[in-house]
Structure 1
Amino acid sequence: MASTRLLVAAFTFAAIPFTAAAQNLSIGLGAEPSSLDPHYHNLSPNNMLAKHVFEALVGQDVNQKPKPGLAESWRTTDPLTWEFKLRRGVKFFDGTEFTADDVLATIKRLPNVPRSPSNFSPFVAGMEFEKVDSHTLKVKTKSPAPLVPINLSAFAIVSKKCAESMSTEDFNALRCQGGTGPYKYSEFKPADRVVLSRNTSYWGPKPGWESVTQRFITSAPSRVAALLAGDVQVIDAVPPTDIPRLKGDANIEMAEILSNRVIYFHMDQFRENSPFITAKNGSPIKNPLLDKRVRQALSMAINRQAIVERLMDGAALPAEQVLPKSFFGTSQRLQPTAFDLAGARRLLAEAGHANGFKMKMHGPNGRYTNDTKIIEAVAQMFTRLGIETEIETLPSGNFFSRASTGANGQPEFSFMLLGWGASTGETASPLRSLMGTFDRSKGSGAANRGRYSNPALDAKLTEALATVDDAKRATILAEASEIAFNDFAIIPSHYQTNVWASRKGIKVEARADEYTLATGIARR
């Protein structure tokens, strides 16, 4: 048998002191979830809320490093097998005991949630799960798979009962009592609020808040006003223009950190005739986005520094890849595309589009910081390039559904603004999800809304995901990043800075994954 590697970390929570006067917490959130079904949509607002109610086999600390969760330890027993020891004494909200059967039922559900805009199946692709006993699981892979533990931190475990019998509508109606987390859902009003109540039977330390109200306040000025009026105690996604004012307010505290989220543009790279691109006279043309020179010209036409300085008020950094260079697996050689309008025009002419064309750009309204302003600004930049660009922004739920599956099961849009936060803290997942060749059976390209496909990139990702040595894997992932971004598979714009504001005496734990967790908020 191969040498065994054992990981058993001390499982500790930062105890949050609570008193009779400090039992209730109110938070103003800048984005609302598309569902309370933890498997419906791999979307940050959904995942963040789910972490209060459901738990993963493997947890993540504030720096996205793995730590014990519902699995208290794990090890490799040979190069192709991982063994997970599940935590005993854990009960679901309905009183039933957590066992390996619940994990297996959850795994089976992941790829089968109807109408999912982006499911969690990529995180278990290539894995076979085997029950050893009620609290032991084996995960077998076809090749060495060092990312198995961190991949198993990316999705929630629900009870077998919920996994097998509950629909997304049931989860939204709070019918599932199959969570194990520190809080339970007690109320859900779409587009308004979620109310959480303390799970008094939680297996870990007692949660610090009796009740947590998360209000969806997508208007940034309204969110700030609610904080200043004392209607909420914490807000996330502080608008950049308000940061200096709030920092100068003695009644407000701030927390901030560079985000793991990249704001980027996806492009239609699979249709000969793209639905929202025409000649300037409205006649059909061959999809120009299939030409790398056109994609490069569009990237060169974007003034990233202006977006950072004028729209984000400095609370962002120009982006060149899926994660900032401080994260694992990034390339140190890639640089943000330099703004060069004249050079972009030359490239466009070389590609046969000296007179430009017409295009409509789509994006969400209120999902990302200043998303509508960014779309408007980039549309103007493209118009100056010679591409007449219209825009259409949509509510998040409608946008993501149409951007992912549309009316015929295919992405509907030609050019769209999106954001992606790396749920595992390294480049493998976003590279594979956003730019890996779309293949449901392999879990590749789950969020590849442009259907970009590059065999060289796929081969590098396959190699990286089978490389156990961390240093070698980081090098391979950096090479994969260079293949993708030198080919302009997507066009990155910037990395956000995550900023929270709270009433004096309330401390917020700043997280790169931009999650606002009640378990990370405490009274001083």
Structure 2
Amino acid sequence: MESPYFWSIAARPWPVCQTVRERSIMARAGSHIKQIAPGTPEATLWRRVTAPSWRGRPPRVRRLQYRSAFHTGPTPMRYHRPTHLLCASALLLTTALWGGAKAADITVGLSGTITSLDPHFHNNSSNSNVAEHMFDPLVARDAGAGIVPALALGWTLRGPTTWEFKLRPDVRFHDGRPFTSADVVFSLGRTKTVKNSPSSFALYTRAIKRVVALDKLTVHVHTDGPVPMLPRDLTGVLMVSKAAAENAATEDFNSGRALVGTGPFKFAAVRRNERIDLVRNAAYWGRQGQWDKATILLLPNESTRTAALLSGKVDLIENVPTQDVRAVAARPGFTVASAPSFRLMYLHLDGARAQTPFAFGLDRKPLARNPLADLRVRQAISKAVGRDALVAKVLEGMGVPSDQLVGPSGAGHAPELIGSRQDIAGARRLLAAAGYPNGFRITLHSTSDHYVNDRQVAQTLAGMLGRVGILTDVQSLPAPVYFARGNKLEFSLMLGGWNADSGMVESSMKALLAGFDPATGMGASNRGRYRSAAFDQALLAARVEFDDARRGRLLREANRVAMRDVGLVPLYIHTTVWGSKKGWNVTPRQDGRTYIHQVVRASAPK
């Protein structure tokens, strides 16, 4: 895939003064942070645009083109007069209290909630982002979502159902043991055996029938049928040490006892829900980056995350809150950068059960039948959503409205599905035809501070649904609670997000819409339990098709079927924004990952 371009903005000084919002941000900042570290970026993937002077004008932004499986084009950024930031005296005081950075230390603020440090427990982007600092896959993704060798030097299709992987020699785990084919056999098998997984990594290994170690550095992976995308699927599976993990439970990873990988950093310490401390792996086989010590701070609260950056508590944050992007870009000594992502935000609907737990009549009594089981109600919900307004007002342009699973440049895009504009009158007619002329009540469940602006998005959606007669209550929950309850099918309507880490729409289709099957890992995150024989047939046919054009046609048919059935309601595709101290250069990635070893400080501290 062609590498994406992105923009970056750095601004010269603006008059310094503290606003009400900034006082609120600072008041809510935590006090549990340290220093962190970057790595090496791909210089050809990005440019910086620096405004020579504000003088009452917004910075100049050069919009560059890219191509993505989901994204439709450059995301516009609209900059206005920047918000005034912290008073200089307050900034000096907080900097003096917290101390300065050490030469080879870095502190990074991540936005997601980590549900586990076990790299095979929960197929969740936030979990994987942290784990990938300590563990490596056989095949990795570059910043533009192309696949590149990692622990496997190369791979070859030896027959319709046999892939050969040649392993990188002289790789060692953090405890000094050599990485061999036995670890590959164990790791690929373990993905199917981890207990109580909210979203199983068997999604990527379901087609593997057996794995054979031919010698210490050669593995044959035999599949149930042709799987042309297996190398790309394996970008999502991290290799663990058989010696360290064979008798370990998920809790042994969470405590750090089993966190023995081959990655650029070694585990040092963890404080649950607060921070993870890492140290350099001096024996790392790849490019190590600049940092001896790295501290990952878990900062799901938006105000706290921004305050941590502006106060100097952290060197870099991901997912700059949309309402703070202009202020961070305007602040002297700070810069922002962005990249289109693969994260699709959507509504999951419980349309499979005769009754659903959170749907009520206007009198607040439970409904005798599940309104979401009616196609017309699902269509009405989709028509009630104003996607353009959602992105423009709630996300401040940091996303692209989407009415299907994939953008125009991606395999599976169906042009005839474009144009799902908000239609209030049409939604009301559909509800009346379904037997709900006056509407009904429902509860929308969402995470709180897990996805960008998730609570605000949920509240806005509730208002949009209310306009067509679906009176919607919102319950925003901490991510661990949300995922645990969602996995038990306790909700009726859910605001969710799926980051297709592999860069392919098959990932979203397999996880969110394929018929739920624990044995194969298909439909692992299909919490609405949508099921369509036509969809599954087209998806499975695409999975075994080597010809790109034919695979594209099959994926397009699967996309049509799911959207015609309103198996879920697509909302928008997220744009990832990073904020950092000026001179601390992050590598923006389409998969949304924040890799510390790819962060580079332009000049060493004095």
Normalised by the length of structure 2, the TM-score is 0.81
1:255-302 deviations in Å (ceiling 9; x for gaps): 101111011110112210101112222043211111111101001111
Q: 1:330 to 1:50 in 2, by over 3 A?
A: farther
Q: Which residue of 2 aligns with 1:59?
A: 140
Give the drift of 1:174: 0.5
Give the drift of 1:359: 1.0
Q: Choose from 411, 431, 454 the match for 1:371.
A: 454
Amino acid at match of 1:341: I
Give the drift of 1:250: 3.1
Q: Indicate yes or no: 2:249 matched with 1:171.
A: no
Q: Indicate yes or no: 2:574 matched with 1:496.
A: yes
Q: Indicate yes or no: 2:216 matched with 1:134.
A: yes
Q: Choose from 476, 489, 497 the match for 2:554.
A: 476
Moved more, 466-475 or 495-504: 466-475
Amino acid at match of 1:122: L
Give the drift of 1:496: 1.2
Q: Indicate yes or no: 2:467 matched with 1:384.
A: yes
1:158-194 deviations in Å (ceiling 9; x for gaps): 0112332111111011101430001012111122111
What SS class does the counterpart of residue 379 from structure 1 fall into?
helix
Please tell me whether the aligned partners of residues 290 and 600 of structure 2 are also in contact (alpha carbons under 8 angstroms).
yes
Please tell me whether the aligned partners of residues 245 and 258 of structure 2 are also in contact (alpha carbons under 8 angstroms).
no
What SS class does the counterpart of residue 535 from structure 2 fall into?
helix
Q: 1:274 to 1:16 in 2, by over 3 A?
A: closer
Please tell me whether the aligned partners of residues 92 and 177 of structure 1 are also in contact (alpha carbons under 8 angstroms).
no
What SS class does the counterpart of residue 52 from structure 1 fall into?
coil
Q: Indicate yes or no: 2:427 matched with 1:349.
A: no
What SS class does the counterpart of residue 287 from structure 2 fall into?
coil
Give the drift of 1:521: 0.8
Q: Choose from 289, 298, 302 the match for 1:207.
A: 289
Q: Choose from 339, 346, 360 the match for 1:278.
A: 360
Please tell me whether the aligned partners of residues 40 and 599 of structure 2 are also in contact (alpha carbons under 8 angstroms).
no
Q: Indicate yes or no: 2:371 matched with 1:288.
A: yes
Please tell me whether the aligned partners of residues 310 and 328 of structure 2 are also in contact (alpha carbons under 8 angstroms).
no
Equivalences for residues 33-52 of structure 1 within 5 A: 33-52=114-133
Please tell me whether the aligned partners of residues 111 and 121 of structure 1 are also in contact (alpha carbons under 8 angstroms).
yes
Equivalences for residues 116-515 of structure 1 within 5 A: 116-128=197-209, 129-281=211-363, 282-335=365-418, 337-404=420-487, 406=488, 411-515=489-593
1:56-114 deviations in Å (ceiling 9; x for gaps): 11111111211111111110112221111111111111111111111111122112212
Amino acid at match of 2:107: S
Q: 1:219 to 1:177 in 2, by over 3 A?
A: closer
For 1:471 and 1:196, the matched residues in 2 are separated by: 45
Please tell me whether the aligned partners of residues 106 and 295 of structure 2 are also in contact (alpha carbons under 8 angstroms).
yes
Please tell me whether the aligned partners of residues 288 and 597 of structure 2 are also in contact (alpha carbons under 8 angstroms).
no
Give the drift of 1:443: 2.0
What SS class does the counterpart of residue 297 from structure 1 fall into?
helix
For 1:115 and 1:144, the matched residues in 2 are separated by: 29
What SS class does the counterpart of residue 53 from structure 1 fall into?
coil
For 2:295 and 2:308, the matched residues in 1 are separated by: 13
Q: Which residue of 1 aligns with 2:108?
A: 27
For 1:41 and 1:15, the matched residues in 2 are separated by: 28
Give the drift of 1:353: 1.3
For 1:143 and 1:327, the matched residues in 2 are separated by: 25
Amino acid at match of 2:467: R
Please tell me whether the aligned partners of residues 463 and 476 of structure 1 are also in contact (alpha carbons under 8 angstroms).
yes
CA RMSD of superposed structures (Å): 1.7
Please tell me whether the aligned partners of residues 161 and 178 of structure 1 are also in contact (alpha carbons under 8 angstroms).
no
Count of aligned positions: 505
What SS class does the counterpart of residue 269 from structure 2 fall into?
strand
Give the drift of 1:214: 1.1
Q: 1:426 to 1:16 in 2, by over 3 A?
A: closer
Amino acid at match of 2:317: I
Moved more, 329-338 or 442-451: 329-338
1:379-404 deviations in Å (ceiling 9; x for gaps): 12212211221111110001001101
Moved more, 365-374 or 277-286: 277-286
Please tell me whether the aligned partners of residues 262 and 493 of structure 1 are also in contact (alpha carbons under 8 angstroms).
yes
For 1:455 and 1:168, the matched residues in 2 are separated by: 35
Normalised by the length of structure 1, the TM-score is 0.93
Give the drift of 1:21: 5.7
Moved more, 332-341 or 311-320: 332-341
Q: Which consecutive aligned stretches of 4+ in structure 1 deviate over 6 angstroms post-superposition? A: none
Give the drift of 1:196: 1.2
Q: Which residue of 2 aligns with 1:115?
A: 196
Please tell me whether the aligned partners of residues 41 and 600 of structure 2 are also in contact (alpha carbons under 8 angstroms).
no
Give the drift of 1:15: 7.8
Q: Which residue of 1 aligns with 2:67?
A: none
Q: 1:392 to 1:14 in 2, by over 3 A?
A: closer
What SS class does the counterpart of residue 258 from structure 2 fall into?
coil
Please tell me whether the aligned partners of residues 28 and 215 of structure 1 are also in contact (alpha carbons under 8 angstroms).
yes
For 1:205 and 1:342, the matched residues in 2 are separated by: 57
Give the drift of 1:16: 10
Q: 1:16 to 1:433 in 2, by over 3 A?
A: closer
What SS class does the counterpart of residue 49 from structure 1 fall into?
helix
**Structure 1: stretches of 5+ with no match in the other structure:** 1-12
